Amino acid sequence: MGLQQIVLTTLIFASLGFFGYSVYRIYRLIRLGKPSYDPIDDWGWRIKSVLKDFFGQMSVVREPSGWGHFFIFWGFLVLGLATVEMFARGYNPHFQWGQILSHSIEAFLKTTFDLLGFSVMVAIVIAMIRGFIIRPERLSKLRGSAHGKFDAALILGMILTLMVSMFFTHGYIIKTEGELAGFTPVSNIFASFVTGSSDGTLPFRYHVAWWIHNLIILTFLAYIPHSKHVHLLGSLPNILLRRNPKDRKRGVLKKIDFEQVDFEAEGVSLGVGKIQDFTWPQLLDLYACTECGRCQQNCPAYQSGKELNPAMLIHDLKSYLNEVGPYLAAGKEPPNGKQLVGDVISEDIIWACTTCLGCVESCPVFIEHVDDLQDMRRYLVMDQAKVSPEVTKTLENMENIGNPWGLPHQNRLKWCEGLNVPMMSQKKEAEYLYWVGCAAALDTKNQNVARALVKILQTAGVDFAILGLEEKCTGDSARRLGQEFLFQNMAQGNIETLKKYKFKKILTTCPHCFNTIGNEYKQLGGDFEVVHHSEFISELIASGKIKPSKNLDKKVTYHDACYLGRHNGIYDAPRAVVNSVASGDVVEMQRTREKALCCGAGGGIMWMDEEPDKRVNLVRFGDVEASGAEVAATACPFCNIMLDDARKMKGKEDEVLVKDIAELVAEGL
């Protein structure tokens, strides 16, 4: 073996060894987490997801900027074969695939290397222009630090140099050994810049390009686990092992089995107070982040100027795990004493999340930010009793009176006085149990929605009844505010009440009630079929059971409620309802459907004081104004309140109306 082979072999083993050690280190850090909450089964679904979202890059190209990533990703995969050829030439200086493969396969490979290599070069140049010159807002935080900029520049620079050095080596090969097999226009262009050797010996400059190429590959391999490109290692397992919606729908929170918690055991906490309290899939999430910033762009908390930035949340959790994890894995106390909750992730960050799923929806590698934040919120509330006075009051109201407003329980029936609404306690049986919800029962603006729905039901001759004073808050806000114990108590009470009666479906105007009863009560033994009034009314109209007139002659836009849209995939039904009554223009806001901005009420934020200049509802109302709509149609009582408040705060009462779709329909009956 010559000197070149000895040096090359040593470097290959050193790089592979360091890479292997680094991967093992990350594996040990991830294993610090608790067991997965969700089952890891249904491998057919998992493999399909990897084929579609990892190899097919489908979740990445949902955004146009993802196409650059698509080409770099595939370029890298395929050019791995070109790299093998490059290394092989270190042992056999004139090696080409044609020596072991048929000529046609070699021609195909060479053409592919050429065109893909060029695509990668173009994609890298575009990424550099985008990252360093255009600098989109969504990359500002992640790449804003000196380290972030250096990391991005180093990686992009290395990939570009890899491609250029590959084309130069091809150029020298063409000039020295003759044309490459296949169609290689880019290599031919590079060949026109270089001179070969007439005696068939590869010139010195070829060796320079060849060494540059191989040294970069080996450096890249060693650097990946320590750079932002660690997602190359983390994203595939993260997609493969992620939560299956058939086990737990997106947005459905984990149930704490209090009977299984050993409160006497050392180090036991409710929620997540230490990094090792997260489950291992939550820790794996951290290494999958591509730092694309899409979650930041879609986060209402960030967009309204709050401290929470979901991209930085994942970034900071990863940095912290990298910092303290090695000590924890070795059974030692980390030296700096930095606490996860408070020092690394501030309480303001934890309390800013509206649980809108804007981040989760936009994440190309299926990171679950909401679970992380909710787990830390549970720790603050249940373990540390660190709760603001207004949250304490809300939780007390729910526990003692059965509604978060703290209004007298008897008020629940005021909205339906004189409407002749049947009660379940008398009827015992009905096709639909109309779950009114606290907002529609108690909030004056939303009482109109309940009355409108009753008018629709009575016009359509629907057999329905309500629980009346037997109905209590679903507990959604308690759960989102981190008080899982109270949620479970309230949910169990409601499940018992519901089980007393016979009905086919529960009907509700509130997406939060819809989500909690339909998706979360199952965790506690309450399996009910729930229908949201948007779908219900849309079907009544489609079947001709009600025929509202098209008397809405104002320009109207529909605001997607997070718990209806992103949480439950209902986007079309409310729009169909709006279209059926609108005689004027129906317009979409710029941020709409899956990308709609939250109104700011979810996650219990409804009950908290927001700083006046950081209110999410004002940002969202800005979207309504930008659409030019005179009516903002809603399908959620909380959106209804939040947008109405924003309208008043901005002094736009005379210009924009905020109305639920049920009201719009009832007005036309």
Which positions lie near ligand SF4, rule CB under 6 A? 289-295, 298-301, 308, 310-311, 314, 353-359, 362-365, 367, 369-370, 598
The residue among 184 and 568 lying less far from ligand SF4, judged by its C-beta, is 568
Give the C-alpha separation, 450 to 436, whole Å.
7
Give the C-alpha separation, 374 to 254, whole Å.
9
The residue among 222 and 367 lying less far from ligand SF4, judged by its C-beta, is 367
Are 198 and 252 spatial neighbours (Cβ–Cβ below 8 Å)?
no
The DSSP result for 49-60, as a single string, is: HIIIIIIS-TTT
In the complex, minimum distance from the CB of residue 299 to ligand SF4, in angstroms, rounded to a whole number: 3
Q: In what order do the strands lie in the sheet with 429-435?
A: 464-466, 429-435, 502-508, 530-532
Give the C-alpha separation, 508 to 635, whole Å.
10
In the complex, minimum distance from the CB of residue 478 to ligand SF4, in angstroms, rounded to a whole number: 18
The residue among 353 and 478 lying less far from ligand SF4, judged by its C-beta, is 353
In the complex, minimum distance from the CB of residue 590 to ligand SF4, in angstroms, rounded to a whole number: 17
The residue among 365 and 618 lying less far from ligand SF4, judged by its C-beta, is 365
In the complex, minimum distance from the CB of residue 361 to ligand SF4, in angstroms, rounded to a whole number: 8
In the complex, minimum distance from the CB of residue 35 to ligand SF4, in angstroms, rounded to a whole number: 23
Residue with tokens 């309500």: 466
The DSSP result for 60-75, as a single string, is: TTTSTTHHHHHHHHHH
Angle at 496 between CA 493 and CA 498, to 5 degrees: 110
In degrees and rounded to multiples of 5, residue 435 shows phi and psi of: -85, 105
The residue among 353 and 646 lying less far from ligand SF4, judged by its C-beta, is 353
In the complex, minimum distance from the CB of residue 415 to ligand SF4, in angstroms, rounded to a whole number: 31
Are 60 and 294 spatial neighbours (Cβ–Cβ below 8 Å)?
no
Angle at 98 between CA 94 and CA 102, to 5 degrees: 170
In the complex, minimum distance from the CB of residue 287 to ligand SF4, in angstroms, rounded to a whole number: 11
The residue among 123 and 597 lying less far from ligand SF4, judged by its C-beta, is 597
Tokens linked to 321: 């795990």
In the complex, minimum distance from the CB of residue 59 to ligand SF4, in angstroms, rounded to a whole number: 10
CA torsion, points 25, 30, 35, 40, in degrees to nearest 10?
Answer: -100
The residue among 170 and 595 lying less far from ligand SF4, judged by its C-beta, is 595
The residue among 292 and 442 lying less far from ligand SF4, judged by its C-beta, is 292
Give the C-alpha separation, 82 to 88, whole Å.
10
The residue among 605 and 631 lying less far from ligand SF4, judged by its C-beta, is 605
Angle at 270 between CA 266 and CA 275, to 5 degrees: 80
In the complex, minimum distance from the CB of residue 297 to ligand SF4, in angstroms, rounded to a whole number: 8
Residue of 273, 268, 254 whose CA lies nearest to 345: 273
Residue of 397, 417, 393, 418 whose CA lies nearest to 408: 397
Q: How far is CA 522 from CA 388, 483, 491, in A?
A: 30, 18, 10
In the complex, minimum distance from the CB of residue 349 to ligand SF4, in angstroms, rounded to a whole number: 9
Tokens linked to 279: 């489950």
- Burial of 529 per CB tally in 10 Å (0-12, 13-18, 19+): exposed
Cβ count near 193 (within 10 Å): 10
The residue among 358 and 402 lying less far from ligand SF4, judged by its C-beta, is 358
In the complex, minimum distance from the CB of residue 34 to ligand SF4, in angstroms, rounded to a whole number: 21
The residue among 60 and 395 lying less far from ligand SF4, judged by its C-beta, is 60
In the complex, minimum distance from the CB of residue 55 to ligand SF4, in angstroms, rounded to a whole number: 17
Beta bridge partners of 631: 556, 657
In the complex, minimum distance from the CB of residue 437 to ligand SF4, in angstroms, rounded to a whole number: 22
In the complex, minimum distance from the CB of residue 142 to ligand SF4, in angstroms, rounded to a whole number: 7
Are 294 and 138 spatial neighbours (Cβ–Cβ below 8 Å)?
yes
In the complex, minimum distance from the CB of residue 591 to ligand SF4, in angstroms, rounded to a whole number: 12
- Burial of 152 per CB tally in 10 Å (0-12, 13-18, 19+): buried
What residue spans of 388-502 are helical by DSSP H? 389-400, 424-427, 437-442, 444-460, 476-480, 484-499
In the complex, minimum distance from the CB of residue 602 to ligand SF4, in angstroms, rounded to a whole number: 8
SS3 state at 522: helix
The DSSP result for 216-261, as a single string, is: HHHHHHHHGGGSGGGHHHHHHHHHHTSPPTTTS-TTPPPPP-GGG-
The residue among 345 and 382 lying less far from ligand SF4, judged by its C-beta, is 345
In the complex, minimum distance from the CB of residue 608 to ligand SF4, in angstroms, rounded to a whole number: 13
Residue with tokens 């409804």: 606
Which parts of 239-331 are beta strand (E)?
none
The residue among 295 and 578 lying less far from ligand SF4, judged by its C-beta, is 295
The residue among 123 and 301 lying less far from ligand SF4, judged by its C-beta, is 301
The residue among 455 and 566 lying less far from ligand SF4, judged by its C-beta, is 566
Three-state SS letters, 161-200: HHHHHHHHHHHHHHHHHCCCCCCCHHHHHHHCCCCCCCCC
The residue among 68 and 310 lying less far from ligand SF4, judged by its C-beta, is 310
SS3 state at 587: strand
The residue among 62 and 427 lying less far from ligand SF4, judged by its C-beta, is 62
